[in-house]
Chain A
Amino acid sequence: MIPEIGHLLLIMALGVALAQGVVSLTGAQRENGAWMALSRPLAWVQFVLVALSFACLTASFVQLDFSVLYVASNSNTDLPLAYRIAGVWGGHEGSLLLWMLMLNVWSVAVAAFSRSLPAVFVSRILGVLGLVAVGFLLFTLITSNPFERLLPAALEGRDLNPLLQDPGMVIHPPMLYMGYVGFSVAFAFAIAALLGGQLDSTWARWTRPWTTAAWIFLTFGIGLGSWWAYNELGWGGWWFWDPVENASFMPWLAGTALIHSLAVTEKRGGFKVWTVLLSIVAFSLSLLGTFLVRSGVLSSVHAFATDPRRGLFILAFLVIVIGSSLVLYAWRAPKVGLGQRFGLVSKESMLLVNNMLLIVAAAAVLLGTLYPLFLDAMGMGKISVGAPYFETVFGLLMVPVMFAMGIGPLVRWKQDEIGGVARRLRFALPIALAAALLVGWSAGRISLVATGGLTLAFWIVASIGVDLVERLRPVGQQTNVIARMRLLPRAMVGMMVAHFGVAAFAFGVAMVKTYEIENDVKMGADTTTELAGYNFRMIDLHEVQGPNYKAVQGQIEVSRDGKLIATLQPEKRIYRVQTNPMTEAAVDSNLLRDIYVSMGEQLPNGDWIVRVQYKPFIYWIWNGCLIMMLGGVLALSDRRYRQRKSSTAELPAQSLSSGAAV
């Protein structure tokens, strides 16, 4: 009964979403107040229906109702409760439902936190979100119904994919989808602005927090995915440039560009057309990612079971949503007008450089991801594009991005002098280079790539330092440094923190790429091996039983100079139902280095191939992501977003001073 209720709720949600889309947009167009007033309640009703439907599927999982095909395919009697719940989004159908739920969470968030916005504008936004929901609900109901019955019921379920049975995987998809779907809000804002033909700095101020919020979730989701892959896949890699990873990374790049471009639109009223286009592009890339993952056009480790009908449906949906928005863009963009002029040396031009490079980087990732498809489609053979392409192209593109990141925040809006900026930063570059060489020297080897990466990372830090010193230097009326610090706008502190996160991330990448050491060794009970000054002793190997798997577990003592550091317990698991082997790596990590041990293959004589790895500073890769997120959160908490009443002034007074936050 529960699955039928869930299905029915989803059908009702489709009806409500359609009403939300049509009534709100028509109401806004005709300026019919009664119709527009319906958009908020309709969004809430749709949210309740989808949430209840999601609850129904969760209930089927918790009860292990194997008469539901999707439940039978993704769970098992022995599956622990937490993974039964995570199983709801462990496959294609349920993860679409999660997508829907997230879209509705964003919709009601807009409905709830938009009291200060004009009714026409809110109606348009909720209308666009309603139509996006219609597309996804139709997709779910027509091609991917999670409530489909399996009669007669299966006696036992096929179990959740063992790869997904990991705590990181329980929260990775919801976070990632919150980010993905969150860009639908910026998209809806952009479409509403195009429809209304009105786009000013007030619009940008409304859009910014939503974009930043989505970006925070996406950053977290991607970082978590990377951390999961590192711990779970057992190779010790943290990014594989897999099509699905790229699919989440491209919206992130576009979203990052959008955040910066919105800053210009808000502070200077510039980049308007470009901002609108970026809003559309960020969401389009999210949709494209959905298509790539679920249509089977590219082969990937993440591939869902594919069905040509699904691919065709999403493609049609892409054409309707993106195609119509781009037509609308081409038609209406001239209405929104151009911004103010700015000089060659100005914050605007630095942000333009940032935007161009980030979009080129996103395009390079897109090209690499789709290149095999292009060649195959033209009958020019089958190839795959691997990490070397992405690392080279992306790495080179990030050099100017990071260089500009050190300059941009210190440059004034509209017009600045190159000499002044260079003078303020005169010590930053030599200090950064010296620090990079010092790190290389203390690591025992100075390499060109590492020095380049480290210099850029320290350059960003040095520039933040210069910026802070200038702002906190006790001059004028307020001479107390602490008091001056309190006066810094949160948005500006957020920017500094986020940029520091980028530096931390780049530092981690440069260190790991250059100084990691790995070795595959044969180990049996009571054997030892050495790596990077650490001694690894295999105490013994024994079998362990998990709830739904059995495993061989090694006990490895890691010591240095005779002092015990950690006892690691890597496992090789065989899950009973799906019978594929899983490598559970064991990691001892601190802020300076990771010791990573994973079990490979068993040899005929009972010994195991064990991979031991030493990864210096790898945690800074994920710490960098967390710091970037923190920066986003700080920016989001800025006072001006909390103001109930919005000012309609074209340019807030503070933006005219040189110290405006980005």
Chain B
Amino acid sequence: MKARLLWPLGIFIVLVVFLAIGLKLDPREVPSPLVGKPAPEFSAPALMEPDRVIRKQDMLGKVWMLNVFASWCVACREEHPLMVAYARTSGAVPVIGLNYKDKREDGKAWLSQLGNPYTDIVFDLDGRIGINFGVYGVPETFIIDKAGVIRYKQIGPITPEALRDKIEPLLRQLNA
């Protein structure tokens, strides 16, 4: 057997090793460049009271979650019961909703139908706040610490596993 003839096999084995590692990775999981950075500033009207303005500074000193949702978003509907249930648990951190690129009436109707888990809701009509947060799919959820720094980003709906294994332990640690 000549060594020359083994080359194709060698290349193939290297390829297989990479493909096997690749199976364990998720190409869609893009780490947010914002994790570890201060959350973008925002000041925008509240969904329920158009005259009241909500600012990032209002939440300083607290660990909180920013949950991006919209009435037109199907996956949000799937996620919503979990958010409602979470808001009822003891020790839940404040959850601020970001009503993203939505109509005010639609957003309100959606919440009155499915329940409102939010401490407060920011109304982001033109999606500017969403853009600053790097939102590219709804729903997305950010965990922000007492100093106003983003510590975690969930892309897509929060699953019970993600809540139990990632989000709640992190919140406990940040609040400790």
Contact yes or no, A312 B27, CB < 8 A: no
Closest chain-B Cβ to A137's Cβ sits at a distance in Å of 22
B12 CB, min distance to chain A CBs, angstroms: 6
- Count of A-B contacts with CB under 8 A? 73
Known A-B contacts A281-B8, A329-B8, A374-B18; the reply to A334 vs B25 at CB < 8 A is no
Whether B1 pairs with A334 at a CB distance below 8 angstroms is: yes
One of A140-148, A210-218, A289-297, A407-415 contacting the partner: A289-297
Is the CB–CB distance between B22 and A322 below 8 Å? Answer: no
With contact pairs A334-B1, A382-B31 given, residues A315 and B9 touching in the complex (Cβ less than 8 Å): no
A residues 318-340 touching B (CB-CB < 8 Å): 318-319, 322-323, 326-327, 329-331, 333-334
Q: List which B1-57 residues lie within 8 A (CB) of chain A.
A: 1-2, 5-6, 8-9, 12-13, 15-16, 18-23, 25-28, 30-31
Chain B positions within 8 Å of A329 at CB level = 5, 8-9
Contact of B19 (CB < 8 Å), options: A273, A297, A308, A326 = A297
A579 to B75, CA, bound (A): 13
B window 127-154: CB within 8 A of A = none
A291 and B19 form a contact (CB under 8 A):
yes
Residue among B1, B18, B23 facing the most chain A CB atoms (10 A cut-off): B23
**Interface hub of A273, A277, A297, A319 (most chain B Cβ within 10 A):** A297
Main secondary structure of the interface of B (DSSP, over half): helix
Q: CB-CB contacts of A86-121 with B at 8 A, as 1s and 0s?
A: 000000000000000000000000000000000000
Q: From B30, which residue of chain A is reached at the shortest CB distance?
A: A382
B12 contact set on A, CB distance < 8 A: 284, 322-323, 326
Closest to A273 in B: B5
Does A373 belong to the interface (CB within 8 Å)? yes
CB-CB under 8 A for A377 and B21, given A329-B8, A333-B5:
yes
Are A334 and B5 touching (Cβ within 8 A)? Answer: yes
Q: Give the dominant DSSP class at A's interface.
A: helix
Task: Please determine whether A370 and B8 come into contact, CB atoms closer than 8 angstroms.
Answer: no
Q: What is the total number of residues of chain B having a CB less than 8 Å from a CB of chain A?
A: 23
User: What are the residues of chain B within 8 A of A73 when measuring CB–CB?
Assistant: none
Task: Quote the shortest CB–CB distance from B9 to chain A (angstroms).
Answer: 4
Contacts of A296 in B (CB 8 A): 26-27
- In the complex, are the beta carbons of A277 and B22 less than 8 A apart? no
Interface: A372 (CB within 8 A): yes
User: How many angstroms from the CA of A323 to the CA of B20 in the assembled complex?
Assistant: 15
Chain B residue at smallest Cβ distance from A334 = B2
Whether B27 and A295, one on each chain, are in contact in the complex, defined by CB atoms closer than 8 angstroms, is no
The answer to whether residues A297 and B5 also contact, given A291-B19, A376-B22 and a CB cut-off of 8 A, is: no
Task: Choose among B1, B19, B22, B23 the residue that contacts A330 (Cβ–Cβ < 8 A).
Answer: B1
Given A318-B16, A331-B1; A376-B25 close (CB under 8 Å): yes
Whole-angstrom distance between the Cβ of A283 and the nearest chain B Cβ: 13
Evaluate contact between B5 and A373: CB separation under 8 angstroms.
Answer: no
Check A297 against B23 for contact (C-beta < 8 Å).
yes
Shortest Cβ gap from A315 to chain B (Å)? 6
The distance in angstroms between the C-alpha atoms of A376 and B2, with both chains bound, is 34
| 3 nearest A-B residue pairs (beta carbon) | A297-B22, A377-B21, A326-B9
